[in-house]
Chain A
């Protein structure tokens, strides 16, 4: 019974969906404030998703219908499952096992892969270019992002999220691993395809990237999955680097402060071309993350 409750209501399911919508609204509102305009009203993301769910879903003639309809479901399912291992709302993760950090990160990557496959599924030019860019970006930020999340794992001596959070609760790892923090935040922006890393869905170049052919229910579910990913990513980084999440109030405060930083970066930077993204990540991101990681390993081994 409690399993069912965790899956459907809290901390998975309904709670994470609603908080995803809430965080999307906050993100858009903060960006609007930076741009000197008003921004959407509180129910806007919810209204968007609701409207999309009611609209007709048009399956393109040359696409595999099963893939087309099934991929959004898989993406959302992956995102929701990842929420079960993360300290949502500042309380203990619902489920936990050794190594669940890797599982969580890869569940989030499943989402990106689903978007990439969905884009390749159709014969639309824009989707193909968008899918290529999505997967290229995935290969760029994935390694540094994972390394940045493994930094706290190394010093905590465990690859289980619950234990890492417990360790991080005692000290702010932001202070001892600032590079890791920066890479984790920027990697999260890459994962979520937020500006300046929104080349995969650059709508002035390729309309909507991999999701161009999607409408109605499929598009609504993909967007919902991205919102859920936003919350999960924020929770993970806040829990690891900003001193753990002891209670719901800390959860809200720390994730919102992190979201403020994200919104600021989104507002201030122009979009990067996909080759520039790859260049930046493989030249600076990967090397910095690797350097930090080796430092940590060395420190752990020799102390």
Chain B
């Protein structure tokens, strides 16, 4: 009677298991991994194409001052599908997906809304939000 996996089983018995012992042992993520989105405000012109093309409405672009190019990007991590269409759409190279930030689980709501922009812009916008005590800001 032929047993197909006999040699395999005997070899496996003396080998280390193939299981990766995450989280005690982590492998390095590949360079192209599509993790969380990162935004660099330096080149943003406020065209809003990334907002339009996102299939999950995960990006909102808040215009603080259009002429001086001060924009704040509100990124909803919990809505994002990590498709990288926004990266492809942005013709100025402001967006990229991180390959280090991929362990995104959290136990509260706060880490899931991320604000990107120049530091002063973000602080002033958050202060504005706190004053208004409402979460609705016109985006386009």
Least distance between A105 CB and chain B CB atoms (Å): 28
Residues of B within 8 A of A264 (CB): 9
Interface centre among B3, B12, B15, B21 (most CB of A within 10 A): B12
The answer, among B3, B6, B12, B21, for a CB contact under 8 Å with A35, is B12
Assess the B5–A36 pair: CB atoms within 8 A. no
Residues of B within 8 A of A38 (CB): 17, 19, 21
B104 interfacial by beta-carbon distance below 8 Å: no
How many of chain B's residues touch chain A, expressed as a range?
10 to 19
A32 interfacial by beta-carbon distance below 8 Å: yes
A247 interfacial by beta-carbon distance below 8 Å: no
A176 interfacial by beta-carbon distance below 8 Å: no
Q: Mark A231-274, 1 if CB is under 8 A from B, else 0.
A: 00000000000000000000000000000000010011100000
Residues of B within 8 A of A34 (CB): 9, 12-13
Residues of B within 8 A of A35 (CB): 9, 12
Q: Mark A89-113, 1 if CB is under 8 A from B, else 0.
A: 0000000000000000000000000
Assess the B3–A36 pair: CB atoms within 8 A. no
Bound Cα distance A110, B59 (Å)? 66
Assess the A268–B17 pair: CB atoms within 8 A. no
B18 interfacial by beta-carbon distance below 8 Å: yes
Residues of A within 8 A of B6 (CB): 268
The answer, among B9, B15, B18, B19, for a CB contact under 8 Å with A268, is B9
A37 interfacial by beta-carbon distance below 8 Å: yes
Assess the A268–B5 pair: CB atoms within 8 A. yes
Least distance between A279 CB and chain B CB atoms (Å): 14
Assess the A37–B18 pair: CB atoms within 8 A. yes
A123 interfacial by beta-carbon distance below 8 Å: no
Bound Cα distance A39, B13 (Å)? 12
With both beta carbons as reference points, the residue of chain B lying nearest to A39 in the complex is identified as B17
A276 interfacial by beta-carbon distance below 8 Å: no
The answer, among B3, B5, B12, B21, for a CB contact under 8 Å with A33, is B12
Assess the B19–A267 pair: CB atoms within 8 A. no
Bound Cα distance A214, B9 (Å)? 34
Q: Mark B92-131, 1 if CB is under 8 A from A, else 0.
A: 0000000000000000000000000000000000000000
Q: Mark A14-52, 1 if CB is under 8 A from B, else 0.
A: 000000000000000000111111110000000000000
Bound Cα distance A38, B9 (Å)? 14
Least distance between A108 CB and chain B CB atoms (Å): 28
Bound Cα distance A37, B15 (Å)? 10
Bound Cα distance A264, B7 (Å)? 12
With both beta carbons as reference points, the residue of chain B lying nearest to A269 in the complex is identified as B3
Residues of A within 8 A of B12 (CB): 33-36
Least distance between B23 CB and chain A CB atoms (Å): 14
Bound Cα distance A95, B21 (Å)? 48
Q: Mark B5-31, 1 if CB is under 8 A from A, else 0.
A: 110010011010111010000000000
Bound Cα distance A269, B18 (Å)? 21
Residues of B within 8 A of A (CB): 3, 5-6, 9, 12-13, 15, 17-19, 21
Name 10 extra pairs, CB < 8 A, besides A264-B9, A267-B5, A268-B3: A32-B17, A33-B13, A33-B17, A34-B9, A34-B12, A34-B13, A36-B15, A36-B18, A37-B17, A37-B18
Top 6 A-B pairs, shortest CB-CB distance: A36-B12, A34-B9, A38-B17, A38-B19, A36-B18, A37-B17
